[in-house]
Amino acid sequence: MEKATILLVEDEESLASFVKTELELEGYQVIWVQDGRAALEAFNHGSITLILLDWMLPVYDGLTVLRRIRQSSDIPIIMITARSQTSDISMALDQGLDDYITKPFEIEELLARVRVIIRRLNQSKPASHDYQFGPFHLDLLKHQFAVNDQAVHLTPKEFALMLALMEQPGTVLTRDDLLNQIWGYDFDGQTNTVDVYIRALRNKLGDYRNLIKTVRGIGYQLEANHNEA
Ligand code: CA
């Protein structure tokens, strides 16, 4: 899964650099800007997953930024508010704010709120283009496959086979399932075709070849090695 990018809009430098560091430790990429206009520019630039938005900001305040962004996007926004704004928060929620946290806050609480939203985003993604299983990473859009971040070239059939396995990790796929899915129902070649391709695929996986398990008499399955090194 790709790293989430968080746009942090906060003009208090010490707070911002603390929050930025904590988010980065959690594995997020962070873009930090200090005023409302820069926030809109960074947002328009694209590839932001979530926005952490301070309310009181130079140029445009957080509420203005929220309204502008909501005209075109439902990107998750968590607002950072001071106590004095809590009475206005229901208005912001009405305008599409997802969540808020009141200063001063515990960093763990902020991180938890971010995590909840990111998890929800990942679950609601209709169709993934990105599959991860242990050391394997398959990017459907770029048609790339990598083992531990090292690109591994797969033929189109090997790629399709890997995709089928990675779409349903832990599920046993029968030879017929795989033949139908990858070669098509009217395929009239050898029944051991799947085995031949699985062997070729395993040869490209090096030390991780055993993550593709043979389920005797049935088919194949992608499964984590719990007992083996
Ligand atoms: Ca502020």
Q: How does pLDDT run across 115-144, given as a tens digit for each residue?
A: 989 888 877 655 668 889 999 999 887 889
Å from CA of 9 to ligand 1 middle? 9
Is residue 150 within 8 Å of residue 142, measured between CB atoms?
no
Please count the other Cβ atoms lying within 10 Å of the Cβ belonging to residue 158. Answer: 19
- Give distance in angstroms: CA of 23 to centre of ligand 1: 19
The pLDDT assigned to 127 comes to: 60
Please give the distance, rounded to the nearest whole angstrom, from the Cα atom of residue 3 to the centre of ligand 1.
27
Range of weakest confidence among 18-27, 41-50, 121-130, 217-226: 121-130
For ligand 1, the distance from its centroid to the CA atom of residue 221, given in whole angstroms, is: 52
Distance CA 132, CA 32 (A): 29
Q: Do domains 5-122 and 130-228 have the same CATH topology?
A: no
Domain ranges of the chain: 5-122, 130-228
* Res 16: pLDDT: 97
Quote the ligand 1 centre to 29 CA distance (angstroms).
Answer: 21
Q: Which two tokens stand for residue 208?
A: 């991780």
SS3 183: helix
What was the pLDDT predicted at 156?
A: 85
- Starting at the edge strand that comes first in sequence, how are the strands of the sheet with 212-215 ordered? 173-174, 219-222, 212-215
Using a CB cutoff of 5 Å, list residues around ligand 1, an ion: 11, 54, 56
User: Are the C-beta atoms of 216 and 198 separated by less than 8 Å?
Assistant: no
Q: Looking at the domain 130-228, which fold is it? A: Arc Repressor Mutant, subunit A (1.10.10)
Q: How far is the CA of 57 from the centre of ligand 1 (A)?
A: 5
32-88 pLDDT, tens digit each: 999 999 999 999 987 899 999 999 999 999 999 999 999 888 899 999 998 777 778
Report the separation in Å between the CA atom of 25 and the middle of ligand 1, taken as the mean of its atom positions. Answer: 23
CA 4 – ligand 1 centroid, Å: 24
pLDDT reading at 150 higher than 90:
yes
pLDDT at 186 over 70: no
What average pLDDT does the chain have? Answer: 89
Q: What are 174's strand-pairing partners? A: 219
Question: Average pLDDT in the 26-33 region?
Answer: 95
**CATH homologous superfamily of 5-122:** Response regulator (3.40.50.2300)
- Cβ neighbours around 8 below 10 Å, total: 24
**What separation in Å is there between the alpha carbon of 66 and the centre of ligand 1?**
15
pTM: 0.56
Whether pLDDT at 227 is above 50: no
Confidence bin at 112 (pLDDT 50/70/90): very high
Rounded-to-integer distance, Cα 168 and Cα 136, Å = 14
- From ligand 1's centre to the CA of 15, what distance in Å? 10
- Residues constituting the chain: 229
